[in-house]
Structure 1
Amino acid sequence: MSEVATRSTRAGGVLAATCISTLVVNANTSAVSILLPAISEDTGMSVTTLQWAVTGYSLVGAAVIVTSGSLGDVFGRRRIFQLGLALFVGSCVLIALAGSGGMVIAGRVIQGAAGATILACGLSLLSVATDGPAQLRAVSLWGAAAAVGAAAGPLLGGVLVDVTGWQGLFWIDAGVALGCMALTAATVRESRDEERSRSIDYLGTVLIALTLTPVILGVTRSGDWGWLSAATLTCFAISVGAGYAFIVVEGRVAVPLLDLALLRNVVLVASTIAILIGAGTINGLMYLLSLYFQDPDALDLTPLEAGLATLPATVGLVAVAPLVPKLAAKVGSRQTVGVGFALSAAGFAVVGLIDASWHYRAFLLPLIAIAVGMGLSNGPASAAATASVPERQVGEASGVSNMARYVGAAVATALAATIYGTVIGNQTADGAARSDALASGLGAASWMMAVFSVLGVLMALLLRRQRVGRTTLGDAAAAAAAHTHTLPTSRAEQAGTAP
């Protein structure tokens, strides 16, 4: 085989391995909320406690997403990518064999580290295996795979619960990941960044986890402990202390997880907060709807029906996103992000008015509004994050925004679960019918997400007004993947949003 043919075969293998693994990781992530009622029934653990299967995944992902990329640069991208796949296989097997809710949560925590590693190192492998137009096509396909996986996950989860039981998703994912490992071993060459410092900020990774875990624990247990109880305040104090220590450490290490100088960039900070809000609200929404739609005292849908019912929120978001770069090019990123968050806020506000008598059709229009709004805001916000810094810092800006995406998912899901459970518990204790209590809980959590979306509108005001230049296929792919991962966009769009 000629050298050109060999190089083409290897590039094809890298593309297949990274795209398939990305699709599986994102489908797995988005499917889990649909599975929670079935897991709760089998394990006996309440769905309120099982929210740690969602928040724990995101929490660990936030801590690991940047570090895993650094590990790949230093020790070899293929090696760390394979480690991520191996961890993913192991976590899937652990969850599928779980006899308790605690084992499910433990498996999902491991899966958070695995998923973040697969995404970070997979994209790096793809970038170094191709260049020029081929790289644009490859990264575009990677972004499309991420978007399709995230959209299809809830439906896939619903189908598998009915056909194989909830464990089937994890057995299938384990098999696919094993196939990706074999394909990677056969076709992917090792690569690393020989010029990069071998210093890795392990302490920063630990401090991120130590900052997030106590605050999420305090929020989720505040209903039982009380907001001003010693236990809750201790959790918050630990988070504040760890957060301060993180800032101190980042100012001293050779290669920090977060370059503190980036925080002086107003556009980057605003776009990152917007990304955090978008990721948080969509994850919180999917968690709540998965529970409410399947609850016997609410809509009483089967897992498959619930998966179908969430399609307007998942598929709608992905379908709208590729059209957004052209819209932003005409009217400006600031206006597009602002309108998107305003539309999402209106959709959440409508859901906030929910009554126990609502049927599914009453949810349809607000879900479409939320999906379209998120599709409008996610892409331009991610583009602004990478466009607001010099080209040499694009990777760092992408890392910051991807970390924020995990943080938003963890914190918002915890808040939504806490509000939902607390309102239901309080109203039930006061003698309200369970159906009314469930509706009140969903409504209260939706109002919280409406407030967050309004904050997103305020963040949009900090982006530049000017319009952006010609858009590319890569921009469309980046917009489609923006609710799962930040991909750098064309320099034309970067120039349009840079401060």
Structure 2
Amino acid sequence: MSDAAKVRSRAGGVLAATCISTLVVNANTSAVSILLPAISEDTGTSVETLQWAVTGYSLVGAAVIVTSGSLGDVFGRRRVFQLGLLLFVASCVMIALAGSGGMVIAGRVIQGAAGATILACGLSLLSVANDGAAQLRAVSLWGAAAAVGAAAGPLLGGVLVDATGWQGLFWIDAAVALLCMVLTAATVSESSDPDRPRTIDYAGTVLIALTLTPLILGVSKSGDWGWLSVATLGCFAISIAAGYAFIAVERRVAVPLLDLALLRNRVLVGSTIAILIGAGTINGLMYLLSLYFQDPAALDFSPFEAGLATLPATVGLVVVAPLVPRLAAKFGGRQTIGVGFALTTLGFVIVGFVGASWTYAAFVLPLVAIAVGMGMSNGPASSAATASVPENEVGGASGVSNMARYVGAAVATALAATIYGSVIANQADDGASQSDALASGLAAASWMMAIFSFLGVLMAVVIARHRAATGTLNDAAAAAAAHLHTLPTSATAGRADPEQGKADASERRPG
């Protein structure tokens, strides 16, 4: 075999290992909400407690997503990627063998670290293994695999609950991750960044977790403790103190987890908040619908039926997103973001009027509106995040937006779960039927997400003019994966057409 053929073969192996791993990680992540009722019944743990299996995953992912990439740059990307896969296998086995809800939650927390590591280092390996147009194609395929996994996850989870029990998903995921480990060992060469300082911002990682954990705990337990109780306010105080300490640390470390100078960039800040809102609302929505659709007092769907019922939101989002870059190039990124969030707001407002008499057919139109709206806002917001900074800051901007996705998912899901559970309990105490109480809980949580989505409309106003993606096939793949990960587009610094770069130079102000 010639040297060129060996290079192509190796690049193909890297592409296979990274794409399969990101597909299985994202399918696993999106499937878990569908499994919660079955896990609750099997372990005797309340669904309210099992909410931590979702929020704990996102919480740890937020803390680790940037750090794991730094570890790969310093100690070897293949080595850290393999460690992520090994942790993923161990967490899957731990969850599949779990006899208690606490063990499931612990396994999911480990899985959050594993998943973030696989995504961060996998993308780095893919970028290093390819050059030029081949690199962009490979990254786009990676993004497409991530999007397909996220869309298929709820349906796959529903099928497996009925066919094998909820444990089946984790056994299959463990087997696939093992296959990726073998493939990686056989085809992926080690790489690192010798020019990068050897220091790792471990303190920043710990402080991110310490900021988010008491915040989510306070939000989750506020219904039991009271919003103004000492315990709740104490959690919020710890979160604020840890957040302040995080900022202080980031100002002093050599290679910070978050470059605070980036926060002076209005486009980046606005797009990051838009990304946070989008990730939070889609995760909160999937959590609520997974529970409501399966509840015997609501629609009483089987896990498979519930997974099928979420398709307008999951598949719709992925199908619409690739069409958006050309729309944004024609009408402007911030206009597209604003219209997208307006549609999402409308969808949540409609669900806010849900009643116990609603059949599934009544949910389809608002779910389609939410999916179309999120597809319109996610892609341009993700593109804006990397288009608004110089080429040497693209990695930092991408890290900020990816961290925001995890933060949004953790906080919004916890808040949605708290509102849903508290309203149901209050309605039941007032003598309402279980069906009416469930509908009231879903309505209240939907109004909260409608408010968040409307804030996204305001973010579109805040975001200044910026370079928009031109609508290439690679842009379409990046847009499809935008609710999961920030990928380079034709708008990203150093990748756009040079003449377009000259025309837009005046619009890429740092503040």
TM-score (norm 1): 0.99
Aligned partners of 2:469 and 2:489 also within 8 Å: no
The separation in 1 between residues aligned to 2:239 and 2:345, in whole angstroms, is 29
Q: Which structure 2 residue ranges, 5 or more long, are not aligned? A: none
Aligned residue runs from structure 1 range 231-242, under 5 A:
231-242=231-242
Give 1:31's aligned residue.
31
**1:331·1:467 contact (CA, 8 Å) conserved in 2?**
no
For residues 295 and 330 of structure 1, the distance between their equivalents in structure 2, rounded to whole angstroms, comes to 44
**Partner of 1:309 in structure 2?**
309
What amino acid does structure 2 have at the position aligned with 1:236?
F
Q: CA offset at residue 463 of structure 1?
A: 2.1
Q: Which residue of 2 aligns with 1:86?
A: 86
Q: Which residue of 1 aligns with 2:358?
A: 358
Structure 1 runs not aligned, ≥5 long? none
2:451 corresponds to: 451
Q: In the alignment, residue 94 of structure 1 is paired with which amino acid? A: M
Match of 1:50 in 2: 50
Q: Is the 8 A contact 2:312 2:371 kept in 1?
A: yes
* CA positional deviation for 1:488: 1.6
**For the residues of structure 1 that align with 2:508 and 2:417, how far apart are their CA atoms?**
37
Aligned pairs for 1:82-161 (under 5 A) are 82-161=82-161
Would you say the 8 A contact 1:348–1:447 is kept in 2? yes
SS in structure 2 opposite 1:51?
A: helix
Q: Distance in 2 between matches of 1:400 and 1:329?
A: 24
**Structure 1 letter corresponding to 2:326:** K
1:288 is aligned to 288
2:368 counterpart SS class:
helix
- Give the AA of the match of 1:498: R
2:411 aligned partner: 411
Q: Contact (CA 8 Å) 2:60, 2:112: kept in 1 or not?
A: yes
Q: How does 1:2-41 map to 2 (within 5 A)?
A: 2-41=2-41
RMSD, aligned CA: 1.1
**Structure 2 CA distance for aligned equivalents of residues 469 and 9 of structure 1:** 31
Report if the CA contact (8 A) 1:65-1:402 is conserved: yes
Q: Is the 8 A contact 1:34 1:154 kept in 2?
A: yes
Return the alpha-carbon distance in structure 1 between the equivalents of residues 468 and 139 of structure 2: 21
Deviations 1:193-217 (CA, angstroms, capped at 9, x unpaired)? 0100001000000000000000100
Whether contact under 8 Å (1:328, 1:467) holds in the other structure is no
Which amino acid in the other structure matches residue 86 of structure 1? L
Establish whether residue 258 from structure 1 lines up as the match of residue 268 from structure 2. no
- In the alignment, is the contact (CA less than 8 A) between 2:326 and 2:469 conserved in 1? no
Q: How many residues are treated as equivalent by the alignment? A: 499
| Separation in structure 1 between the aligned mates of residue 413 and residue 466 of structure 2, nearest angstrom | 34
Q: Given residue 146 of structure 1, which amino acid in structure 2 is its aligned partner?
A: A
CA positional deviation for 1:246: 0.2
| TM-aligned CA deviation for residue 464 of structure 1 | 3.2
- 1:179-258 equivalence runs, <5 A: 179-258=179-258
For residues 14 and 135 of structure 2, the distance between their equivalents in structure 1, rounded to whole angstroms, comes to 12
Alignment of 1:378-389 (within 5 A): 378-389=378-389
Q: Kindly provide the CA deviation profile for residues 269-289 of structure 1, in whole angstroms up to 9, marking residues without a partner as x.
A: 000000000000000000000
**Residues 57, 109 of structure 2: 8 Å contact kept:** yes
Task: Kindly indicate whether residue 76 of structure 2 is the aligned counterpart of residue 76 of structure 1.
Answer: yes
Q: 1:337 offset after TM fit, Å?
A: 0.1
* Deviation (angstroms), 1:469: 6.0
Distance in 2 of aligned mates of 1:381 and 1:403 = 14
1:467, distance to aligned residue in structure 2 (A) = 7.1
**Whole-Å Cα distance in 2 between the matches of residues 421 and 498 of structure 1?**
45
Do 1:333 and 1:464's aligned partners in 2 also have CA atoms closer than 8 Å? no
Q: Distance in 1 between matches of 2:330 and 2:194?
A: 42
Matches within 5 A, 1:424-463: 424-463=424-463
Aligned to 1:64: 64
Deviations 1:227-264 (A, max 9, x none): 11111111001000000000000000000000111111
Q: Whole-Å Cα distance in 1 between the matches of residues 412 and 33 of structure 2?
A: 14
**Aligned residues of 2:67 and 2:257 also touching (Cα < 8 A):** yes
Counterpart of 1:140, as a letter, is S
Distance 1:348 1:339 in 2: 14
Whole-angstrom distance in 2 between the partners of 1:445 and 1:71 = 38
1:498 corresponds to = 508
Tell me the SS of whatever aligns to 1:461. helix
1:419 counterpart letter in structure 2: I
The letter of the residue matching 2:63 is A
Are the equivalent residues in 1 in contact too, given 2:469–2:490 (CA < 8 A)?
no
Q: Is the CA contact 1:27–1:149 (under 8 Å) kept in the aligned structure 2?
A: yes
Distance (whole Å) between structure 2 residues aligned to residue 227 and residue 447 of structure 1: 19
1:108-137 deviation line (CA, Å, top 9, x unaligned):
000000000000000000000000111111
What does residue 468 of structure 1 align with? 468
Q: Does 1:178 align with 2:178?
A: yes
What is the deviation of 1:471?
A: 2.7
Provide Cα deviations, 1:315-374, integer angstroms capped at 9, x if missing partner: 000000001000001000011000000000000000000000000000000000000000
- Opposite residue 406 of structure 2, the aligned amino acid is Y
SS in 1 for 2:146: helix
Contact 2:325–2:469 (CA under 8 A) maintained in structure 1: no
Matching residue's letter, 1:252: R
| Partners of 2:452 and 2:227 in 1: CA distance | 21
Q: Indicate if the aligned counterparts of 1:330 and 1:467 stay in contact, CA closer than 8 A.
A: no
1:465, CA displacement in angstroms? 4.2
Report if aligned partners of 2:15, 2:138 keep a CA contact under 8 Å in 1: yes
Summarize the Cα distance change of 1:187–1:249 in structure 2 as closer, same or farther, 3 Å threshold.
same
The SS at the match of 2:365 is helix
Contact 2:29 2:150 in 1 (8 A): yes
Q: Percent identity?
A: 82
Distance 1:138 1:304 in 2: 33
Q: CA deviation at 1:2?
A: 1.3
CA drift at 1:474: 1.6
